[in-house]
Amino acid sequence: MMDETSDEPPTSAVFLDNCHFSQVIFNNVEKFYVPGGDVTCHYTLTQNIIPRGKDWVGIFRVGWKTTREYYTFMWAPVPSDTHGDSSVQQQIQFKAYYLPKDDEYYQFCYVDQDGVVRGASVPFQFRAETEDDILVVTTQGEVEELELQNKTLCQENEELKASCARLQKQNLGLQEELQKTQELQNSLESLRSKTETLELELNSLRKENKHLKELDDCREAELSQLKEQVQNVTSEKEHLEARLKTTMDQLQQQNQDLMQELEEQKRLFQILQAKKNETDEENQKLKEENDELLRHLTQAEEVSSFPGVSQAPIPVPEAGGLLFGNPYCAAGANLRAGAGDEASLRKCPICNDVFPEEIETTQYEAHVQNHLLECPLCQESFENSDKQVFDDHILCHRLEEA
């Protein structure tokens, strides 16, 4: 069949019996054409044929069997008006270079793009003109024989036309059946394609369904796990709320106790501070008395160092007149010795440690502060021994902020 992308003309293995020679009529065909010159082929397109772009006109050697046996060809031009009801005159020129060089008989054939012959010319030759061709003398017998042959050829031509009509009709039927078969084949191919597409979609849906089931199972497991976590969190929250309530009640009670203890410590500190002030005043008086005694003792030693000076006893103050007793009551006592240790006026209210008078107040307060834990948020103080109470107090602040 035809090949539209090839440079070769479309041919077929259709035999002469299946051709339609009457649809294209070749006109003015010479008996012979002189070699070395171009040949113009004239033909008529009847209303029984619709010309197409791949139709062609070929030169065939007489006796050909299929359209593949062409010697040379030219593409048939498509007329501008292809839908008219009248015949159309066309012509094609074959260049001398491509024409046969022998003296065999040839003929023009019009072949459509399906490779079917639609018309054929009378035979002709490619040879030089001779005098015998100019004047031909025939006898009466030859004339009668030619007329008989002509009559026989006409009869055969009529039979061929009838046979051609039958074959054309049969061909139309076969073409209709072929078209139906082709349509059925196309429908079958379409159904197969659709079936394959549906099978692919079905497999895809099955895979997607399986994936969705797996996701559903995973989500159910996650949901069950989340429910369990919610229950655990709820239980833990209730436990923490109960613990917080208990802890807050204990902070509040301990806070009251600590406030009372702090007030007591403040009162004790005030008392100790007052005693310290009194002691400082008494110490100052004792220092002044000691200085006076030392001054008198120094004068007495200076007097006793002179000759003739009697050693008179030094008057000693009464014991009841001094807070720490008489510093000169012991015989041979060292007068330059100290007056004795002072009574402690500072005592830690937490560890009961006693501090001397010389210690600075800031040092005493730092010692007491070391025994306490101070909240950085509300500056409330707790003893080191109450570390758990202090931690619960901090936790309460964090819960309030949350």
For residue range 322-334, what is the model confidence (pLDDT) as tens digits?
A: 444 444 433 333 3
Q: How far is it, in rounded angstroms, from Cα 328 to Cα 316?
A: 7
Print the SS3 string covering 7-30.
CCCCCCCCCHHHCCCECEEEECCC
Q: Kindly give the confidence (pLDDT) of every residue in the chain, 402 residues in length, as a single tens digit, with 9 standing for 90 and above.
A: 333 334 788 877 655 554 567 899 999 999 999 999 999 999 999 988 999 999 999 999 999 999 999 999 999 999 987 666 788 999 999 999 999 999 899 999 999 999 999 999 999 999 886 655 555 555 677 777 777 877 888 888 788 888 878 888 888 888 888 889 889 989 998 999 999 999 999 999 999 999 999 998 999 999 999 999 999 999 989 999 998 898 888 888 988 888 888 888 888 888 988 988 988 888 899 989 888 888 888 887 776 665 554 444 544 444 444 444 444 433 333 333 334 444 445 788 888 888 887 788 888 888 888 888 889 888 888 888 888 888 889 888 888 877
H-state helical runs in 305-340: none
Q: How far apart are CA 55 and CA 161, in angstroms?
A: 23
Q: What is the pLDDT of residue 84?
A: 63
pTM of this structure? 0.35
pLDDT of residue 61: 95
- The DSSP letter of residue 165 is H
Tell me what the pLDDT averaged over the chain comes to.
81
Pairwise CA distance, residues 253 & 247, whole Å: 10
What's the pLDDT tens digit per position in 30-73? 999 999 999 999 999 998 899 999 999 999 999 999 999 999 99
How wide is the angle at C-alpha 322 spanned by C-alphas 318 and 324, nearest 5°?
120
SS3 202: helix
Q: State phi, psi for 271 to the nearest 5 degrees.
A: -65, -45
For 290, residues 6+ apart whose C-beta sits below 8 A from its C-beta are: 327, 339
**β-bridge partners, 25:** 44
- Give the model's pLDDT for residue 258: 85
Backbone angles phi, psi at 91, to 5 degrees: -150, 155
Rg (CA), the chain: 72
What pLDDT is attached to residue 344?
A: 44
Right CATH for 1-130 from 1.10.10.10, 3.30.2010.10, 2.30.33.40, 2.60.40.2840: 2.60.40.2840
DSSP bridge pairs for 57: 74, 110
At 316 the pLDDT is: 46
Give whole-number Cα distances, 117 to 39, 49, 52, 163, in Å.
Answer: 21, 11, 13, 15
